């Protein structure tokens, strides 16, 4: 398996533009997580999907952020409009979670977003 | 709300030494405790996962322990090597089936001096 695949690896955009980050989880995993990492705040969970359904989006900073998981093999995180304070590394992770067992998380390589 | 703390934030040790990284968490009702490694500019690599019913896990030169009652976990690295230089993060997974999520510490940046 190629692991969790994120695209693009780097994104530089101007303030106000729409940004879409993409994630392909590991085949067979039923849970997908979007995290944001900054020097100031460390790793923060943005949103968590289980079986393609959003379970917890309490970490989404504001309405400018939205995430979708239309099927088990694809998810997007969209920021519209983007702001300089959104600059961070965004990680996607997937896992197989079932009652009584956790197979652990696999993280993608991340998308480094710079908003100028 | 779970809070995870890692002290120290940075650590430098000579090659060959054994070392311990510390992690503490405020809510002992966890499903498991995980340790990750992050190299500069890279993603996270899972090192060890300790289920809440376990007290330790070992993988090669790494040994992680878990004491739920005191809210602590340690990662022991034996015979450190320059290749061990990285940031190590611990994460506690909430005991809440249907809403599992990891809360991460801010990490310990480890430098092994050749």
Q: Testing the interface with B: which of A43, A57, A106 to mutate, by most B Cβ within 10 A?
A: A43
pLDDT for the residue numbered A1: 65
Q: Tens digit of pLDDT for each residue in A61-76?
A: 889 999 999 999 999 9
CA distance B27 to A107: 24
pLDDT confidence bin for B16, thresholds 50/70/90: very high
Instruction: Count the helix, strand and coil residues of chain A and give each as a percent rounded to the nearest 5.
Output: 5, 60, 35
Q: Does pLDDT of A100 surpass 70? A: no
pLDDT for the residue numbered B94: 80
pLDDT for the residue numbered A92: 97
A:14-43 residues touching chain B, CB 8 A cutoff: 31, 33, 42-43
Higher confidence at residue B87 or residue B31?
B87
> What is the residue-averaged pLDDT of chain A?
92
Q: Tens digit of pLDDT for each residue in A75-94?
A: 999 999 999 999 999 999 99
Q: Tens digit of pLDDT for each residue in B26-74?
A: 988 888 899 999 998 888 999 999 988 899 999 999 999 999 999 999 9
Cβ within 8 Å, pair A56-B105: no
Cβ within 8 Å, pair B98-A55: yes
pLDDT confidence bin for A99, thresholds 50/70/90: low
């Amino acid at each position: 398996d190629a692991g969790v695949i994120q695209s693009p690896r780097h994104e530089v955009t101007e303030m106000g533009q729409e940004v879409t980050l993409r994630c392909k989880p590991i085949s067979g995993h039923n849970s997908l997580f979007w995290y944001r990492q900054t020097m100031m705040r460390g790793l923060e969970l943005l949103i968590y999907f289980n079986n393609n359904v959003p379970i917890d989006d309490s970490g989404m900073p504001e309405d400018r952020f939205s995430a979708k998981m239309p099927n088990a093999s694809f998810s997007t995180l969209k920021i519209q409009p983007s702001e300089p304070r959104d600059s961070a590394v965004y990680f996607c992770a997937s896992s197989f979670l079932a009652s009584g067992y956790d197979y652990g998380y696999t993280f993608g390589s991340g998308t480094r977003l710079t908003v100028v | 709300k779970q809070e995870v703390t890692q002290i120290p934030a940075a650590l430098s040790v000579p090659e060959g030494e054994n070392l311990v990284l510390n992690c503490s968490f405020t809510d002992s009702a966890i499903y498991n405790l995980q340790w990750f490694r992050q190299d500069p500019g890279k993603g996270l690599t899972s090192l060890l996962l300790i289920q809440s019913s376990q007290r330790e896990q070992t993988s090669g030169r790494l040994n992680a322990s878990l004491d739920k009652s005191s809210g602590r976990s340690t990662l022991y690295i034996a015979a450190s090597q320059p290749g061990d230089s990285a940031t190590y993060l611990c994460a506690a997974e909430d005991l809440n089936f249907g809403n599992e999520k990891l809360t991460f510490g801010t990490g310990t940046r480890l430098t092994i001096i050749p």
